[in-house]
């Protein structure tokens, strides 16, 4: 049986399992086993399965994943995201599109301590979407801003996706994490400028909704401009009277213009987030600590911050929230490691029939400009992003694409950042669009409106990809200056 036929059979098995709703980890595992049985026989397959799962997961570099996850979840439960939004709101409220810019800034800042796009979209969205709607942003635009800005967490370190890419591609994890800083900031700036332009060319002045017009004009895109404190409080009272009690209490606690005051200064959370970022990224950049050490110190610091935040709660709630942080970390880590095991079996099958090297040789021999080839590999990420989660995409595409990149003479660090940028687009691309589903869970936001909002901002993400593609120096400058 030819290698191409074996690959076709294994791929068909994988697609059939995904179509039936099987978990991606199970689909990769079963398709890899089928391929190994057909290519190597049952005895070799059983021996391989006895050792491969351990070999795939018993790597010291993988310790970074649960540590970064624990740090991010602790930061989320310590209300750092809400505090960051309140600070950003104070800084940007007076400029055109200020609330949207504040949301983008808060998502970028929270991404620097969480590494989770879902956490950023859910947490920031919970406190910002209704505030934007109150200032006459359309529901589509408000939800689109949150969903797209949440993807910045995938790029800005600490990024679990960059860590996995580094392990799969055998690239420096520290260099990859540092390389994500400038592209993450540039992407945030591009999104912010785009939102300001959208807000600038709308018809409305952006003052808070009058009580009588709240229901009828909630879908109008407008510019949030600073209003007098009394006007803001009046609008907040009107919104509170026409929304659900839970939603109103959340908005009041989160928004500076609402009547209720937060229990602590938002600068507390901002300083805590900055300290976490400096401990992890600053330590890696200066060479004071290794990536593993930085992750461990960051996780410890995150738990200390959470513990300080929980000291004002009853003992029962403290234990419940702390246990919840560990349980969430364990569940997410188990999900990632399950995909790692399944992907390792599928990748072993591909390597055993020499598919990666043959693919690299075939692509490198194409009569095309090398950058065109890289562009085609990146474009292949779009259909994958429509149906698979980021971890699965990464573990499927890297064994095939990375050898091609190295054969063409390009930097694996540069390609990794471009790959993550495409994964960001996949996080908001229908029909899956994980971040869009998260945002659609906000009261008053439907899935249809959330997806409509995505298409207002998707061109801005494409501009960012083209910028990093055309100017690799943007990506490589900072890691080249690491100690």
Tokens, residue 85: 């939004």
C-alpha–C-alpha distance, residues 445 and 438, integer Å: 10
Mean pLDDT, residues 458-468: 92
Q: Is it the case that residue 397 has pLDDT exceeding 90?
A: no
Centre a 10 Å sphere on the Cβ of residue 363 and count the other Cβ atoms it contains: 21
Tokens, residue 13: 């098995």
Model confidence pLDDT, tens digit, residues 109-143: 888 888 778 778 888 888 888 888 888 888 888 89
Q: What is the pLDDT of residue 178?
A: 93
Its pTM surpasses 0.85: no
Measured CA angle at 72 (ends 66, 73), to 5 deg: 85
Contact 454, 144 (CB under 8 A): yes
Q: 3-class DSSP state for residue 115?
A: coil
C-alpha–C-alpha distance, residues 149 and 109, integer Å: 11
Tokens, residue 390: 């980021």
Q: Is it the case that residue 281 has pLDDT exceeding 70?
A: yes
Mean pLDDT, residues 216-221: 36
What DSSP string describes 234-252?
HHHHHHHHHS-HHHHHHHH
Lowest-pLDDT range of 237-251, 267-281, 423-437: 237-251
pLDDT band at 263 (very low <50, low <70, confident <90, very high): low
pLDDT band at 315 (very low <50, low <70, confident <90, very high): low
Burial (CB count within 10 angstroms: exposed 0-12, middle 13-18, buried 19+), residue 383: exposed
Q: Is it the case that residue 242 has pLDDT exceeding 80?
A: no
Q: Is it the case that residue 241 has pLDDT exceeding 50?
A: no
The rounded percent of the chain whose pLDDT value lies above 70 is 86
Nearest to 66 by CA among 302, 277, 349: 302
What DSSP string describes 465-480?
HHHHHH-THHHHHHHH
Q: Is it the case that residue 222 has pLDDT exceeding 80?
A: no
Q: Is it the case that residue 201 has pLDDT exceeding 80?
A: no
Q: What is the pLDDT of residue 482?
A: 79
Q: Mean pLDDT over all residues of the chain? A: 81
What DSSP string describes 338-396?
HHHHHHHHHHHHHHHTTHHHHHHHHHHTSSS-HHHHHHHHHHTHHHHHTTS-HHHHHHH
The single-letter DSSP state of residue 135 is T
Q: Is it the case that residue 9 has pLDDT exceeding 50?
A: yes
Mean pLDDT, residues 212-235: 34
């Amino acid at each position: 049986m030819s290698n191409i036929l074996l690959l076709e059979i294994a791929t068909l098995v994988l697609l059939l399992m995904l179509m039936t709703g099987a978990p991606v980890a199970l689909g990769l595992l079963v398709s890899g086993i089928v391929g190994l049985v057909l290519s190597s026989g049952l005895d070799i397959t059983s021996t391989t399965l006895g050792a491969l799962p351990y070999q795939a997961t018993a790597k010291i570099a993988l310790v970074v994943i649960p540590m970064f996850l624990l740090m991010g979840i602790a930061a989320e439960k310590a209300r750092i995201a809400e505090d960051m939004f309140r600070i950003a709101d104070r800084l940007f409220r007076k400029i055109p599109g200020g609330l949207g810019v504040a949301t983008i800034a808060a998502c970028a800042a929270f991404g620097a301590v969480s590494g989770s796009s879902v956490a950023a979209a859910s947490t920031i969205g919970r406190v910002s979407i209704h505030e934007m709607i109150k200032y006459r942003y359309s529901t589509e635009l408000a939800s689109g801003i949150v969903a797209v800005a949440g993807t910045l967490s995938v790029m800005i370190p600490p990024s679990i996706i960059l860590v996995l890419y580094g392990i799969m591609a055998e690239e420096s994890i520290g260099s990859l994490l540092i390389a994500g800083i400038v592209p993450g900031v540039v992407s945030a700036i591009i999104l912010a400028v785009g939102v300001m332009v959208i807000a600038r060319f709308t018809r409305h002045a952006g003052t808070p909704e009058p009580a009588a017009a709240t229901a009828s004009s909630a879908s109008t895109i407008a510019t949030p401009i600073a209003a007098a404190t009394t006007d803001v409080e009046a609008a907040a009272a009107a919104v509170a009277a026409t929304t659900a009690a839970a939603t109103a209490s959340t908005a009041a606690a989160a928004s500076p213009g609402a009547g209720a005051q937060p229990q602590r200064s938002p600068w507390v959370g901002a300083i805590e987030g900055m300290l976490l970022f400096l401990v992890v990224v600053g330590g890696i950049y200066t060479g004071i600590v290794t990536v593993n050490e930085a992750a461990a110190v960051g996780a410890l610091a995150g738990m200390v911050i959470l513990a300080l935040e929980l000291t004002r709660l009853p003992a029962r709630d403290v234990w419940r929230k702390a246990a919840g942080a560990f349980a969430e970390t364990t569940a997410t880590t188990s999900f990632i490691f399950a995909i790692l095991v399944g992907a390792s079996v599928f990748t072993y099958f591909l390597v055993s029939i020499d598919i990666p090297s043959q693919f690299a040789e075939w692509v490198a021999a194409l009569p095309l400009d090398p950058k065109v080839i890289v562009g085609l590999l990146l474009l292949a990420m779009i259909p994958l992003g429509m149906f698979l989660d980021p971890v699965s995409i990464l573990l499927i595409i890297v064994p095939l694409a990375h050898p091609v990149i190295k054969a063409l003479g390009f930097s694996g660090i540069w390609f990794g950042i471009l790959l993550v940028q495409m994964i960001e687009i996949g996080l908001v691309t229908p029909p899956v669009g994980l971040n869009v589903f998260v945002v659609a869970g906000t009261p008053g936001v439907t899935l249809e409106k959330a997806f409509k909002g995505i298409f207002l901002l998707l061109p801005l993400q494409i501009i960012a990809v083209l910028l990093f593609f055309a100017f690799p120096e943007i990506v490589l400058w900072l890691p080249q200056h690491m100690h």
